[in-house]
Amino acid sequence: MDSSKNKHSDHMTEFELIARLAEVGASSNVENSESILIGIGDDAAVVSTPFGQTLLTTDAMVDGVHFRSIDERWHDIGWKCAVSNLSDIAAMGGIPDSALVTLGVPPAASADTFAELYSGMNEAFELFGGQIVGGDVVSSPIMFVNMALTGHPSINASGVPICLLRSEAKLDDLVCVTGPLGGSAGGLEVLLSGETNPSGEILIDRHFRPVPRIEVGNKLVAFGVRCGMDISDGLVGDLEKIAKLSNVEITVNMANIPIVDEMMLLFGARSITLALSGGEDYELAFTAPESVVENLTAKKVEFSVVGRVTGDGSTGAQVIVVDEKGNLHEPIRKGWDHLNG
């Protein structure tokens, strides 16, 4: 690419690019667009077909950006690629169906590498549903893996298919997460430091072997939750997406955020920063009225209440973090820009 002609090169963020592409998309396909129920902006697209609703999502991993080929953890990389897609289906409360896998294959790659990668994907699909049905293999100077995954919505107590959406948070909803945060980011730091100890290994495992919350997502739909997403880019950054699409203000109570025990051991007070901003935990964040949340507890769904929807947007669609005394805390880093890191 002739970068000298790219005036915007130093400043383009992932969000600017997606907004621009959404504009291009909106200006065309007018005839077809009625069938898109949920387009760009949520975890997965939702498309209406004559036969029901289909969920569609895609996620790619690139050598040197999302993984390091020198680690040679091919099975884990396959697992994580599948999980990042499965988690998008979980984020919608859906059920995974069919995966297509594209492999970018460098000149020196071996078939063993990709066979291990595939076995990692298959392990995840066997545990959480879905299956690889096809794909593409292309020559590439660098290794990359792209997965596209389809799914379908699960049904609520009335038998109606429902998707968890980012746009459904309401004033006074409780804000919840399905498990401890920051473990993946902590694991990455341990990995990069090169130091090993048992606590560190547990965190590295959280980095390489995240779990998609398919089952919990289905339960959330079954028990009446309407607003949710997965935490792939960091709690604060991801809740900001809910705040923006629901036009609400969310207040997070820092002291209530669940953190993996090993994080406190290794990172002390900095654990909370990693929990607020670290990506790739793949837990779900959701909001629901108190009565629905109480029912979830009664039904033994596991989660933690971490905040509340405290404004209807007249105060700004934003996320505020407060400490245990109610003092404002400024998060050091808000989420992950996939283009600028």
137-176 residues in contact with its own copies (CB under 8 A) are: 137-144, 146, 148, 150, 152
Element (H or E) spanning 200, and its range? helix 198-208
Q: What is the CA radius of gyration of the chain?
A: 20
- In terms of CB distance, is 25 or 316 closer to its own copies? 25
The 309-338 site mask, x for binding its own copies (CB under 8 A), equals: -----------------------------x
**Least gap, CB of 11 to its own copies (angstroms):** 10
Strand ranges (E), 200-315: 227-230, 249-253, 284-288, 304-311
CA distances from 17 to 26, 37, 52, 272 (A): 14, 22, 31, 30
In the complex, the smallest distance separating the C-beta of residue 20 from its own copies, rounded to whole angstroms, is: 5
CA gap 220, 239 in Å, rounded: 17
Answer yes or no whether residue 300 interacts with its own copies by CB under 8 A: no
Tell me the number of residues near its own copies by CB under 8 A.
97
**Shortest separation between residue 50's beta carbon and its own copies, angstroms:** 8
Cβ proximity to its own copies: between 39 and 316 the closer is: 39
Scanning 12-20, 215-223, 292-300, 305-313 for contacts with its own copies by CB under 8 A, the matching segment is: 12-20
Site for its own copies contains 40 (CB under 8 A)? yes
Contact positions with its own copies (CB under 8 A) in 81-100: 97-98, 100
Nearer to its own copies, 70 or 328 (CB): 70
Helix (H, G, I), strand (E, B) or coil at 325: coil
- Identity of the residue, 114 or 286, whose beta carbon is nearer to its own copies in the bound complex: 114
State the nearest-atom distance from the C-beta of 64 to its own copies, in Å: 6
Binding mask 41-80 for its own copies (x = CB under 8 A): ---xx-x-xxxx-x-xxxxxxxxxxx--xx-x--------
Is residue 300 classed exposed, middle or buried when 0-12, 13-18 and 19+ CB atoms within 10 A define those classes? exposed
Distance CA 190, CA 130 (A): 32
Site for its own copies in 111-130 (CB under 8 A): 111-115, 118-119, 122-123, 125-126, 129-130
Count of positions (residues) in the chain: 341
Strand segments, DSSP code E, in the chain are 36-38, 45-49, 52-62, 94-105, 131-139, 144-155, 161-162, 174-177, 227-230, 249-253, 284-288, 304-311, 318-322, 328-329
Please provide residue 254's backbone torsions phi and psi, each rounded to the nearest 5 degrees: -50, -40
Determine if 104 is a binding residue for its own copies (CB under 8 A): yes
- Considering only 35-43, 169-177, 222-230, 269-277, which stretch makes contact with its own copies by CB under 8 A? 35-43
Give min distance, CB of 224 to its own copies, in A.
24
Return the residue of 159, 268, 326, 341 that touches its own copies, per CB under 8 A.
341
**105/216 with CB nearer its own copies:** 105
Between 84 and 271, CB nearer to its own copies:
84
Whole-number Å distance between alpha carbons of 247 and 318: 8
Cα atoms in the Cβ-side hemisphere of radius 13 Å centred on 175:
33
For residues 64 and 316, which CB has a smaller minimum distance to its own copies in the complex? 64
Q: Using alpha carbons only, what angle is made at residue 304 by residues 279 and 81, rounded to the nearest 5 degrees?
A: 30
- With binding defined as CB under 8 A, does residue 215 bind its own copies? no
Angle at the Cα of 89 (from 96 to 262), degrees rounded to 5?
Answer: 110
